[in-house]
Amino acid sequence: MLSRAAWSLLMRTGGLGTRGTHSPGSTAGGQRRLSPYVDCYAQRSYPMPDEPFCTELSEEQRALKEREKSSWAQLSQAEKVALYRLQFQETFAEMNRRSNEWKTVMGCVFFFIGFTALMIWWQRIYVFPEKVVTLTDERKAQQLQRLLDMKSNPIQGLAAQWDYEKKEWKK
């Protein structure tokens, strides 16, 4: 596998031979437009995109771009905003505003938690077998009495802590 730097260099120079061409007249290393999905839009981490937001300009926008070359003091606030919108899609305030995506994420999380709880409940009712008879309190008491009667592990085990004369646990 190529390292990140080598891969970046390979992509920047146009790839291997004519592999990167999309039309018969263009060359792989020639000046080409990037797709709108690559470094086109401003982001918080990279606020200055390589290309302006609007590339095809109308007549009004072209006239505004010509007026941009003169003094900016002559431009109105609306014209300055329009020039900004030609270059960038969003302002920093618009980029940094909160979204309501967390509500969707939390809704999905709670939905799947609820669905999982219903599945567990359904399995306990209809899939899992009944409790084993040996796990009832009565059978546990019988098993403990059997171990005491057999005097199993009389030095450190249960039999060492049972008083056989008084028939109760030692204190």
pLDDT, tens only, 63-91: 888 888 888 888 899 998 888 888 887 87
- 6 close to 16: Cβ distance less than 8 angstroms: no
Q: Return the structure tokens found at 131.
A: 């409790």
Residue 72 maps to a domain: yes
| Residue 105 sits in the same domain as residue 140 | no
Same domain, 79 and 50: yes
Q: Which domain holds residue 123?
A: 98-128
Same domain, 143 and 124: no
- What is the rounded distance in angstroms from the CA atom of residue 38 to the CA atom of residue 16? 20
Say what the pTM is: 0.40
- Residues 42, 91, single domain; the answer is yes
Nearest to 61 by CA among 41, 42, 79: 79
pLDDT for 40 equals 52
* 10-25 pLDDT, tens digit each: 555 555 544 444 544 4
What angle is formed at CA 71 by the lines to CA 65 and CA 74, rounded to 5 degrees? 90
Cβ proximity of 148 and 156 under 8 Å: no
Same domain, 79 and 61: yes
Domain count within the chain:
3
Q: Is residue 13 part of a domain?
A: no
Side-chain-facing half-sphere of 8: CA atoms under 13 Å: 3
143 and 159 fall within a common domain: yes
Nearest alpha carbon to residue 42 among 105, 85, 103: 85
